[in-house]
A and B are shown apart, each in its own frame.
Chain A
Amino acid sequence: MALWLIPIFPFIGFLLNGLFGRRLPKAMINLFAIGSVFLSFLWAVRVLLGLGALETKYVEHYFTWIQSGNLNISIDFAVDRLTAVMLMVVTGVGLLIHIYSIGYMSDEGGYYRFFAYLNLFMFFMLVLVLAQNFLLLFVGWEGVGLCSYLLIGFYFLEQYATNAGNKAFIVNRIGDFGFSLAVFLIVRQFGSLDFTKVFDAAKTMPVESGAGILTVISLLLLVGATGKSAQIPLYVWLPDAMAGPTPVSALIHAATMVTAGVYMTARSAALFTHAPIAMDSVAVIGLATAFFAATIGLAQTDIKKVFAYSTVSQLGYMFLGAGVGAFSAGIFHLMTHAFFKALLFLGAGAVIHGLHGEQDLRQMGGLFKHMRITAITLLCASVAISGFPFTSGFFSKDAILVAAYERAPWMYWVGVLTAGMTAFYVFRAWFLAFTGEYRGHAHPHESPLVMTGPLMLLALLSLGGGFINIPHWLEPMFAEKPENQVLAWTSAGVGLLGIALAYLFYVARPGLADSVASSMSGLYKLIYNKYFVDEFYSATVVQPVVDGSRTVLWRGLDAGVIDGLVNGVGIRSRGVGRILRLLQSGNIRSYAAWVVLGSIAVLLAIGLAGGAR
């Protein structure tokens, strides 16, 4: 089926735009960028239709990449039901965001650069999704990290953007370190990196009650996943990543790349399910992340920051789902989240675009009459993420929460509380932006069709995406979890309560929010400043490392030991050279004489050694 065509189209687009984009007109850049992703999407659809039910995994082998001893790593692509879901999400949502970007980026500099990076991202993401072994997955993993870095720092003339890019890159390094350790351990344990071989071997191993090799591997994979998917303790980079253009936030930092950790966890389900300790860690980390991020989101004033913390929180849900064994629910939520969170970001982008770059919620308000389509589509996304009955969020979130209840009821209740907060802060943002009086100074206007079109499509998906029964589709791979109507409606009710509270605070009684904030000023300051986590990291990790590098590594090791060694060698050689240089007279004939003498000596040596027989 030529799976390689799927990622290669965006790569060609990247090459064309990256190499020649500077000299191409915008229409050509659009054609290459959108066309390549569109072709990729079409081919993915054709492949999936052609493969039908996908009862078993479909693998294509291309060539052997690394062969070293018994280790044999090849370039293989594979499609199974999990990959199929991811393929559709990545290419479909990616295509919509590409189209949206035409409008959003139309006035920005570096147009071709943006689309080249975006296409490169699509390439790596598809490689990640299609990979049939850990190393190829790692290639995609690192590649999307690179593109994320490039796109966060897209406005590289701004200090905060480059700082945010560096932060994302460095924090991700910590996660990748864990991931690569896990890969090494897998090689050592299983002698292969091929998914099929590794998981087949893992399934025959007993479930570890204590801390065995599978637990270690799973925990290290979890470290990698927390880095990429912004979980505690490595989530700090994602809110800062909002420095990039909004379509990037939507595509990379909401819909696709950050879900790679969830995808990888689900892909490695065979390892995790045999390591209960690791599973519990995943669940606890996911739940904690969901809760803390949601509390931070309550007090943010930057519209993109609100959605960024919301993303972190929702990713926490997905990890919770994976951690309690409901992988299919996690993937389900991944997909619906891709729809409504991409929509949230794109809608926020439309608002920002319409306000000429204003991101502060306090400078908005009353925008409903200026941009109806954006407001309505954003409302769709908001009800979806709040878990309003029969929207997509309702199905996927409740699938996770029900599964969590099976595992431990307190997890369910924390999750429900978080759901309520989610509904609150999302609607807080919506009410602040679209109702009341306009508080800013710009002239708001509706976005062009090329931007609102994708919004409407995504709104449909956000509302109706829940009826795509992903858990059922994934049943051959992951056991389906039981349903519980009571629990589902309870959490939906809490969501509605959150919406009602938001209405009360920001529409019905606008002064109430400030009075509540001032009455609990300590707590408000804490969450407004994001629990001072960045400051804490800076004091405990960043400063010591920087100081240590500066004093010990630079002044001590580099300047003292290494430079001293090198200089010492240099001084000694100069001393010897001062004597030897007398040989180098510059007189060619004397050189020739030396060469002749040398060759005669060699000949004599050969002759004396008996070579002349």
Chain B
Amino acid sequence: MIHNPVPMSWYLILSAILFGLGVAGFIYRRNIITVFMSIELMLNAVNLTFITFSYKLKQVDGHIFSFFVMVVAAAEAAVGLAIILTVFKNRETLMIDDVSSMKY
């Protein structure tokens, strides 16, 4: 078993597990930064599926897509963290439940 090739589905299942953990973290955590990191975890999980399918199709396009995901994640992190800094400056809190004035 150790020397057999790894079935592709395992990678996908790993990706699903990580994605699920990301979703759970997003819902469960209350610190904005941790919530943000949960999003990054989800993005990583998606990247893993891209790379896996790229291997299956023997095409490099999946890598390109995950590359773009990374770049977008970098942009998102820059803006998102700036927003978090501003929120903290204005409200002195990082708890996501305290930032709920955007409602009816």
> How far apart are the CA atoms of A586 and B101 in the complex, in Å?
6
Q: Which among B26, B27, B35, B103 is the interface contact of A586 at CB below 8 angstroms?
A: B103
Does B100 sit at the interface, judged by CB under 8 A? yes
A596: interface (CB < 8 Å): yes
The 8 Å CB contact of B103, one of A585, A592, A593, A596, is: A585
Judge whether A592 and B97 touch: CB under 8 Å. Answer: no
A596 to chain B: which residues have CB within 8 Å? 23, 27
What's the nearest-Cβ distance from chain A to residue B45, in Å?
Answer: 14
Q: Is A515 at the interface (CB under 8 A from chain B)?
A: no
Chain A residues in 8 Å Cβ range of B23: 592, 596
A589 touching B101, Cβ below 8 Å: no
Q: Is A613's beta carbon under 8 Å from chain B?
A: no
Asked if B102 lies at the interface with its beta carbon under 8 angstroms from chain A, I say yes
Closest to A599 in B: B23
CA distance A83 to B99 in the complex (A): 72
Quick check: A588 and B101 within 8 Å, CB to CB?
Answer: no
Is the Cβ of B96 less than 8 Å from the Cβ of A588?
yes
A70 on the interface (CB 8 Å rule)?
A: no
Closest A residue to B32 using CB positions: A588
Mark A194-209 against chain B: 1 for CB-CB distance below 8 A, else 0: 0000000000000000
> Is the CB–CB distance between B100 and A587 below 8 Å?
yes
Interface centre among B97, B100, B104 (most CB of A within 10 A): B104
**0/1 interface trace, chain B 1-29, chain A, CB 8 Å (1 if under):** 00000000000000000000001001100
Query: Whole-angstrom distance between the alpha carbons of A99 and B28 in the complex?
Result: 79
Q: How many of chain B's residues have a CB under 8 angstroms from any CB in A?
A: 13
Q: A593-B27, A596-B23 are in contact. Are A588 and B35 (CB under 8 A)?
A: yes
**Which residues of the other chain, A, contact B104 by a CB distance below 8 angstroms?**
577, 581-582, 584
**Pairwise interchain contact A589-B102, C-beta atoms closer than 8 A:** no
Q: How close is B97's CB to chain A, nearest CB, in angstroms?
A: 6
Q: Any chain A CB within 8 A of the CB of B30?
A: yes
B27 close to A587 (CB less than 8 A): no
| A residues in contact with B100, CB < 8 Å | 585-588
Q: Are B103 and A589 in contact (CB under 8 A)?
A: no
Contact code string B70-90 (vs A, CB < 8 Å = 1, else 0) = 000000000000000000000
CB distance from B38 to the nearest CB of A (A): 9
Chain A, residue nearest B23 (CB): A596
Chain B nearest CB from A33 CB (Å) reads 48
Among B30, B35, B103, which residue has its beta carbon within 8 angstroms of that of A584?
A: B103
Question: CA–CA, A596 to B103, complex, Å?
Answer: 20
Which residues of chain A come closer than 8 Å to B96, judged between CB atoms? 587-589
Asked if A587 and B26 make an inter-chain contact with CB atoms under 8 angstroms apart, the answer reads no
Provide the bound-state CA to CA distance between A596 and B22, in Å.
11
CB closest residue in chain A, given B96:
A588
Q: How far apart are the CA atoms of A577 and B103 in the complex, in Å?
A: 12
Residues of B within 8 Å of A593, CB to CB, are: 27
Q: Could you tell me the distance in whole angstroms from the C-beta of B95 to the nearest C-beta in chain A?
A: 11
Interface string of B24-51 (1 = CB under 8 A from A): 0011001000010000000000000000
- Identity of the chain B residue whose Cβ is nearest the Cβ of A587 in the assembled complex: B100
Binding site for A on B (CB under 8 A): 23, 26-27, 30, 35, 96-97, 99-104
> Could you tell me which A residues sit within 8 Å of B by CB distance?
577, 581-582, 584-589, 592-593, 596
Q: List 6 A-B contacts (CB under 8 A).
A: A584-B103, A585-B100, A586-B100, A586-B101, A588-B96, A589-B96
